[in-house]
Amino acid sequence: MIFLVLLPVGRFASRSTGSKVKICETKFIEQNQPKWEELERVLESPYKNPDNLNELFIQVTDDLSYSRTFYPNRSVRVYLNGLAQRIFLSIYRNRKSQRHRLITFWTDELPHLVYESRQAFRLSFFVFALAMAIGMLSCAMDPDFAAVILGEDYVQMTEENIRSGDPMRVYKQRGEFGMTLGITVNNIYVSFLTFVLGVFFSIGSIALLLYNGVMVGAFQYFFIERGLFWESFLTIWMHGALEISAIVIAGAAGITMGQGLLFPGTYTRMQAFQRSARRGIKIMVGIAPLFIVAGFIEGYLTRHTDLPDVARGFFIVVCLLVVLVYFVWYPWMKSRIGFDAPIRDARIPPDDMLHLNFTQIKPSGEILADAILLLKSASENCCLYAGRGAIVYFVVFIFAGKPRSGIFFSLRHVFSGDPDGAVFSASILRWPRLWHGSS
């Protein structure tokens, strides 16, 4: 009897408690709904303020803890849990996708950039090949041309090596590791210089391609004239296949960057330059492995001139095929089947949207755009202070005392083949002269 009386009372108490929980939950939702809606707007926005996002994340986790305690079986707990997960993924998604982004850069983005810049690649290759032909023809017409381009000391040293029976001795007189490191650093320097000078409306990159091409042509004909073509070809192009290819690609990257200034299209000239500079930088990143491998080959393998000619010839063919397949055939093939995604950071927002906001989370492409915009806005002050500093340094440097010999070099040495001043030369020619030439 007592049980029958208490049962309705228990049911009534349970319903009363559930109604109270529902009422409290409704008030909880009404009080916090504007805050949650604001958080959803922040998550949907492409620009996120990190301080605001951090504050909202703390608040939503507090609300989630409260809902887990008082409303463990209600839908509001599920909603807040999903909202907190969205915040977490928004913060850490780039960290989780770094490996995937790295893979897609090599498999899709870089081939896409190469294909879009194929005209610059063709021009770079044509300029370098033409310069090589000019260098070889000039040596054939003027026997002293090689000494002018390569330097008299280097020519004399090479002739002594030829008379001693080891014409490629220059690649054997230094340690493997030191030679590899030095060659790699110089390769990066030459390619970076070739790329950066493309800022002068692509003319700087073309000029360096011409100069390096003439040097390579003169260097190759120097051995042809002495009946050593095959030996020089098998030795030099073991590393030169990758090294020279990388320099040509760096020239294409510089031409690509300069095209933004020459042909802005519907963009402003500064916007077009930002767009083309991003593409050029990505192409330069893509040839970094070529420099490393070429330096390793020159330091450790080129010196072994006693290897069978078939083995060395096969190695050269393999290196050339790697370059041709990845930078010529693969981009063409991808263009036929379709690229996975459009080129990242290819679109530039209008000028009124390029405001400098240092409190937002932005991708690397937009950070580069902000850096260029900041440099543009402060270019006058930068030039002014740099000019004043240069004048002060020059005055102090000149009048404080006599400079040591070797600090200055004449610009004519850059184009005269002097080993002390020829800074604009490919490492295939420059480094042997620096090691064994007289300074």
∠ Cα 366 371 376 (to 5°): 125
Q: What is the pLDDT of residues 364-381, one digit of tens each?
A: 667 777 777 777 667 667
Residue matched to tokens 């998550």: 43
Domain ranges of the chain: 15-96, 103-346+409-436
Q: What is the pLDDT of residues 167-203, one digit of tens each?
A: 887 787 778 888 888 888 888 999 999 999 998 889 9
pLDDT the model gives residue 401: 53
Is residue 410 within a helix (H) or strand (E), and if so which, with residue range? none
141 — pLDDT class (breaks 50, 70, 90): very high
Q: Is the pLDDT of residue 223 over 50?
A: yes
Q: Nearest-CA neighbor of 346 among 120, 98, 109?
A: 109
Question: What distance in Å separates the CA atoms of residue 198 and residue 120, rounded to the nearest whole number?
Answer: 11
Q: What is the pLDDT of residues 397-424, one digit of tens each?
A: 666 654 444 444 343 443 444 443 333 3
Structure tokens at 32: 């916090």
Alpha helices in 301-378 (DSSP H): 309-324, 330-337, 364-377
Structure tokens at 145: 């041309």
